[in-house]
Amino acid sequence: MVKINVLQNGPCLVEAEGTYVLIRDGKEEVINQKAIALCRCGASGNKPFCDGSHKKINFEAEGVELQIR
């Protein structure tokens, strides 16, 4: 099961069963977390992840829930 919550004025929170594996430049990085936050404001210094920078730039966008059925 995958849950995606697009937070108001913030990142996309992804929660899924399994292991997250980020593949960048052909290298795999295993992320041992229950959930990950993906930046959607473009200001993160740790893309593709949210680092909280959306607050500094006063990012504004609606929040929605995405369901995969």
Residues that bind ligand FES (CB under 6 A): 10-11, 39-41, 43-44, 50-54
* Least distance CB 16 / ligand FES (angstroms): 19
Q: Which residue's CB is nearer to ligand FES, number 2 or number 63?
A: 63
Q: What is the dihedral of CA 10, 43, 57, 12, to 10 degrees?
A: 0
* Least distance CB 52 / ligand FES (angstroms): 6
**Nearby residues of 63 by Cβ (< 8 Å), 6 or more positions away:** 5, 6, 7, 8, 9, 10
* Least distance CB 7 / ligand FES (angstroms): 8
